[in-house]
Amino acid sequence: MIQQLRFTHLTSHHDLRYASDTLERVLRDPDATLADIQPIKDDGTTTVWEITIDLHRCIIKRYNRKTPAHGIRRFFQRSRARNCWLQAQALANIGVAVAPPIAWVQKKTLGLKRGSWLISERVDGDDCHTTFENRKQERSLLMANIVNTLVKLWRAGYSHGDLKADNILIANGNPVLIDLDATQHHRSRFFARRGITRDLRRFLKNWQAEPLIHQQAKTALAAYEFKLPKR
């Protein structure tokens, strides 16, 4: 079950299985909670921290508003944190492993979206590129598992939107998809095919410098009769 909380300029939604006074303090003022914690990533567009909340190792990702014009455009769209929250739940429901979502927070000023935050459990695993380097004898099986997960995603009408290696983690030998900012559920075959083609192109790009892995990826995909992009 999901609970909504409203504060002065913030609205949050969280999974009641994680409910606690500690989590509520984080949701009430995420920036204050994170003020003295060094981010593990900060590229201007997003800032990411790793913290512990009630013994849960968590990742908090803040989506920063780029410009006032960006805030106006976002008025008509889901915030990226909300999209990640919704898509994580949807993908979990179709059997695609994702980082378990805990909460999302939206800040608004005068009705315009400002920053938003997503809190999820930290996945204990490496990105697939690192895993392939460390477990060379298992590459074929690992690739088959990744492709099986992606096919499950695509056949349900979804596209991930950013299938770089960093966004596919391997935990206990199984793939976990993260960073669902651009994930979409497509209502038409045309847009689904376009989204899947973009996913295929980005996924195969990960292995351009490694011909053996690139061929393993193409072979695994071909088994499902997906039309591979020419470039």
d(CA 64, CA 115): 5
Length of the chain, in residues: 231
Cα 152 vs. chain centroid, distance in angstroms? 16
pLDDT at 226: 73
61-79 burial string, b = 16+ CB within 10 Å, else e? bbbebeeeeebeebeeeeb
CA distance readout (Å), 20 to 13, 102, 129: 13, 12, 37
Written as tens digits, the pLDDT of the chain (231 aa) is 888 888 878 899 999 999 999 999 999 999 999 999 999 999 888 999 999 999 999 999 999 876 555 555 555 578 999 999 999 999 999 999 999 999 999 998 766 677 899 999 999 999 999 999 999 999 999 999 999 999 999 999 999 999 999 999 999 989 999 999 999 999 999 999 999 999 999 999 999 999 999 999 999 998 887 777 766
d(CA 208, CA 212): 9
pLDDT at 115: 86
Helices (H), ranges, 102-170? 128-134, 139-155
Return the CATH superfamily for domain 126-222: Transferase(Phosphotransferase) domain 1 (1.10.510.10)
pTM metric for this prediction = 0.91
Domain ranges in the chain are 2-121, 126-222
d(CA 74, CA 67): 11
Q: Which residues contact 186 (CB under 8 A, 6 or more apart)?
A: 157, 158, 159, 192, 195
The angle subtended at Cα 121 by Cα 26 and Cα 184, nearest 5°, is: 100
d(CA 148, CA 169): 14
CB 49 within 8 A of CB 37: yes
pLDDT at 221: 93
Domain 2-121 architecture: 2-Layer Sandwich (3.30)
